[in-house]
């Protein structure tokens, strides 16, 4: 329970922010309650859609020192809330509307409806970037010749053997991007999708290669520190990729950027607390298939993000799939542990 104290504190602060900004927008008790309600809905949405994120983060955090693990919770929180859930949408609006980021932030407060329209118009490009980046994460996990433990053996064992083929994950992701882009009729939009999706692939490859080089050669304190810093950045990048859908969907609940950041920020803190709780209790080692369930969820989430470019995907579907897969992998882990306990 103590691992979740920061999340409880952030939740209380976020609710107060929701009440305050709800009252500012609509000076009444109803306005204040509506602001608080929006924070609660956004927090639940972010938490439900990010359970797989917590599991993936715990896997990566195991490679970091305790100091960097603490920094992930403390310094990482402002980056997650202010960076990915407040400034990132402003940067997107700035790029699309050809205005400065400060003008975009001003627009968010003065003309929130116009700001929301611009932000949601970028949905397809953001989905292309997030979809390819997450697809690379999922495929790189399954297509790995060093991977020994499998949950769904008939799928994972065959996929692992493909790990010996250089660049296979990138090739599959690029093929998925090409298929997605050519499903769109508009030529300009097709080019935009290829550009943003390509950036997603390149970003993953560059980050992973730099991390592998630094961590693999951690012979000095400086190198280890840089490796810790870059792994921290990689975690924030993953967090951002998982939050793309939530950030866009949030505008269907409220146009207030502060309430959006507060609500999604609660979800981000809950995910971080879950991550550290799993790390301290060594949950991934005890329930070995849960990790597999998380990566299957990421795989399907990535595919759904790409499909959403040309076909509407209901929000409840992504969250439900994650719960089913992670829940199923947990049950399978418990069953495996019971079998091992009874085996001679």
Nearest to 128 by CA among 92, 177, 84, 91: 177
Report, as an integer, the average pLDDT of 137-165: 83
124: enclosing H helix or E strand: helix 123-142
Q: Compute the mean pLDDT over every residue in the chain, rounded to the nearest whole number.
A: 81
pLDDT band, residue 344 (cuts 50/70/90)? low
Q: What is the pLDDT of residues 1-56, one digit of tens each?
A: 677 788 888 899 999 999 998 888 888 888 899 989 999 988 887 877 777 777 87
What is residue 211's predicted lDDT score, i.e. its pLDDT? 62
**How many helices and strands, by DSSP H and E, does the chain display?**
17, 0
State yes or no: pLDDT of 160 exceeds 90.
Answer: no
Report, as an integer, the average pLDDT of 64-73: 79
Our measurement of the distance from residue 176's CA atom to the centroid of its chain's CA atoms, rounded to an integer in Å, reads 20
Tokens of 287: 């329930």
What is residue 210's predicted lDDT score, i.e. its pLDDT? 67
Tokens of 159: 């996929």
What is residue 343's predicted lDDT score, i.e. its pLDDT? 61
Greatest mean pLDDT among 93-107, 184-198, 225-239, 250-264 lies in: 184-198
What is residue 183's predicted lDDT score, i.e. its pLDDT? 87
Query: If you write DSSP's letter for every residue of 265-303 in order, what string do you get?
Result: HHHHHHHHHHHHHHHHHTHHHHSTTHHHHHHHHHHHHHH
- For residues 152 and 295, the answer to whether their CB atoms sit within 8 Å is no
Q: What is the pLDDT of residues 211-242, one digit of tens each?
A: 666 555 444 444 444 557 777 877 877 777 77
Nearest to 66 by CA among 279, 282, 287, 213: 279
State yes or no: pLDDT of 199 exceeds 70.
Answer: yes
Ramachandran class of 98: left when φ > 0, alpha when ψ lies in -120 to 50, beta otherwise: left
Q: How far apart are CA 43 and CA 259, in angstroms?
A: 10
Between residues 245 and 247, which one has the greater pLDDT?
247
Computed on alpha carbons and rounded to an integer, the radius of gyration of the chain in Å comes to: 21
DSSP state of 85: I
What is residue 225's predicted lDDT score, i.e. its pLDDT? 47
Report, as an integer, the average pLDDT of 74-86: 77
Long-range Cβ contact pairs of 9-13 (< 8 A, separation 24 or more): 10/77, 10/265, 10/266, 10/269, 11/43, 11/266, 11/269, 13/262
Q: Is 219 strand, coil or helix? A: coil
Q: What is the pLDDT of residues 282-335, one digit of tens each?
A: 776 677 788 888 888 889 988 998 998 888 887 777 778 878 888 888 888 888
Of 161-165, 245-249, 274-278, the range with the lowest mean pLDDT is 245-249
Burial-class residue 177 by CB neighbours within 10 Å (0-12, 13-18, 19+). Answer: buried
Separation in Å, CA 45 to CA 33, 177, 322: 18, 27, 12
Tokens of 264: 């999604």
| Dihedral sign from CA coordinates of 43, 46, 51, 53 | negative
Greatest mean pLDDT among 105-114, 191-200, 216-225, 241-250 lies in: 191-200
Report, as an integer, the average pLDDT of 184-208: 87
State yes or no: pLDDT of 96 exceeds 70.
Answer: yes
Q: How far apart are CA 7 and CA 265, in angstroms?
A: 10
207: enclosing H helix or E strand: helix 187-216
Q: How far apart are CA 104 and CA 110, in angstroms?
A: 10
Neighbours of 172 (CB within 10 A): 15
Between residues 62 and 308, which one has the greater pLDDT?
308
| 296: Cβ contacts below 8 Å, ≥ 6 apart | 138, 325, 329
% of the chain at pLDDT higher than 70? 90
Tokens of 296: 């299957």
């Amino acid at each position: 329970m103590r691992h979740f104290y920061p999340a409880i504190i952030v939740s209380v602060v976020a609710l107060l922010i929701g009440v305050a900004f709800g009252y500012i927008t609509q000076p009444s008790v109803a306005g204040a309650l509506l602001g608080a309600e929006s924070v609660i809905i956004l927090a639940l949405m972010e938490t439900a859609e990010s359970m797989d994120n917590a599991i993936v983060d715990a896997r990566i955090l195991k490679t970091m020192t305790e100091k960097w693990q603490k920094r992930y919770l403390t310094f990482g929180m402002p980056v997650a809330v202010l960076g990915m859930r407040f400034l990132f949408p402003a940067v997107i609006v700035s790029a699309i509307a050809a205005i400065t980021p400060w003008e975009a932030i001003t627009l968010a407060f003065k003309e929130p409806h116009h700001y929301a329209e611009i932000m949601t118009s970028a949905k397809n490009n953001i989905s292309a970037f997030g979809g390819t980046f997450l697809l690379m994460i999922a495929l790189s996990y399954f297509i790995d010749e060093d991977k020994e433990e499998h949950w769904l053996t008939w799928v994972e064992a065959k996929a692992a053997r493909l790990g010996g083929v250089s660049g296979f994950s990138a090739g599959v992701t690029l093929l998925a991007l090409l298929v997605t882009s050519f499903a769109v009729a508009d030529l300009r939009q097709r080019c935009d999708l290829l550009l943003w999706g390509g950036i997603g692939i390149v970003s993953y490859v560059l980050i992973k290669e730099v991390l592998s080089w630094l961590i693999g050669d951690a012979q000095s304190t400086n190198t280890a520190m840089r490796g810790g810093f870059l792994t921290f950045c990689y975690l924030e990048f993953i967090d951002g990729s998982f939050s793309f859908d939530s950030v866009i969907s949030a505008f269907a609940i409220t146009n207030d950027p502060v309430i959006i950041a507060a609500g999604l920020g609660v979800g981000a803190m809950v995910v971080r607390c879950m991550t550290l709780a799993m790390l301290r209790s060594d949950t991934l080692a005890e329930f070995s298939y849960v990790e597999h369930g998380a990566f299957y969820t990421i795989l399907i989430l990535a595919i759904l993000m790409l499909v959403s470019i040309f076909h509407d995907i209901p929000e409840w579907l992504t969250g439900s799939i994650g719960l089913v897969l992670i829940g199923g992998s947990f049950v399978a882990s418990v069953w495996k542990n019971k079998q091992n306990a009874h085996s001679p």
